[in-house]
């Protein structure tokens, strides 16, 4: 697989394969994983869903972002 669907597809296989329930995923604040906090409640975030977020919701997984040092 190549392209944008590869990492979410890998995550889906990982969820199906591991012998335990994944409860929380800790991610960085990367653009490929989430919207920046300043856009999280804006119109773009309302109408667009990241593939990872879809996988998390489908499987009841909570997402937490790392804290940035300012």
Q: Return contacts of 63-68, CB within 8 angstroms, 24+ apart.
A: 63/24, 63/25, 63/27, 63/34, 64/24, 64/25, 64/26, 64/27, 65/26, 65/27, 65/28, 65/29, 65/34, 66/26, 66/27, 66/28, 66/29, 68/29
pTM of this prediction? 0.63
pLDDT band at 53 (very low <50, low <70, confident <90, very high): confident
Specify the higher pLDDT residue, 13 or 49: 13
pLDDT band at 3 (very low <50, low <70, confident <90, very high): low
């Amino acid at each position: 697989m190549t392209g944008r669907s590869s990492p979410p597809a890998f995550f889906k296989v990982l969820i199906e394969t591991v012998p335990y329930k994944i409860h929380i995923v800790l991610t960085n604040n990367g653009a490929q994983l989430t919207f920046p906090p300043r856009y999280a409640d804006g119109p773009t975030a309302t109408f667009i869903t990241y593939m990872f977020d879809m996988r998390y919701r489908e499987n009841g997984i909570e997402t937490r972002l790392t804290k940035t040092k300012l």
